[in-house]
Amino acid sequence: MKTTPDQLKILSIDIGGSHIKGTILNQKGELQKDYEKVVTPTPASPENVIKSIKNLVKDFPKFDRISVGFPGYVKEGVVKTAPNLSTELWKDFDLAKSLHEQLGQPTRVVNDADMQGLGVVKGKGLELVITLGTGFGTALLYNGNLLPHLEFSHQPFGKSKSYDKYIGEVAIEKEGYKKWNRRMLKVFEVLKTVFNYDYLYIGGGNSDKLTFKLDKNMKIVTNADGIKGGARLWLQDELPKTAPAEKAEK
């Protein structure tokens, strides 16, 4: 019997610098099981990460599609950069194709901030999503549609070579959260000026370390909210422009 859209079960994976998380969603983005996670392997090569994903999902219920959020620039399922894993190991690696072959279901891969954005936005106006974790992720959506992924985190900021180095995990370990919060205030002012967003969503493991009051059009969201964006990748009537077409099934 052919699976209808309402019956689709989607394996949603979030690959992070410290952990790889996964769950099963229905087409509405509702969780069908609790989240599970494993430590991101070292070295975080494609082979090791795929092996970790296979171990993570080996006892998961059956799924029909796969959505993956990856910490880097991804074009049509192919990784172009992986600054917090190793661009040298990942450059031009077709992650969508490899997971399709290894796990047996059509796979779509997008930047992790893009996938989180799909999961949390209201779908009205220009909405910016940032993730504060190992690095600094950004996603921009207009009326719920992903705009081409911008590697904004690699822009220089102040005396730092990039936003990743200015407010990423390395900066926190070196400077502490008090100074990091002062830096975040500066970053938010820049984001307001550059993007003129209608709404800003803040995710990632360090989002709850912000100690100052946020503007009314700013909101902290959870990783659990973000991973639900995996379901949106498979909505045929609202397919994000940056999501690759799945490989044709034989």
Q: Is this model's pTM higher than 0.75 or not?
A: yes
CA-based radius of gyration for the chain: 17
* Full strand arrangement of the beta sheet holding 199-203: 145-146, 136-142, 126-132, 199-203, 218-220
Helix (H, G, I), strand (E, B) or coil at 133: coil
Condensed to tens digits (0 to 9), the pLDDT of residues 130-162 reads 999 888 989 999 999 888 777 788 888 888 889
For residue range 47-101, list pLDDT tens digits in order: 999 999 999 999 999 999 999 999 889 999 999 999 889 889 999 999 999 999 9
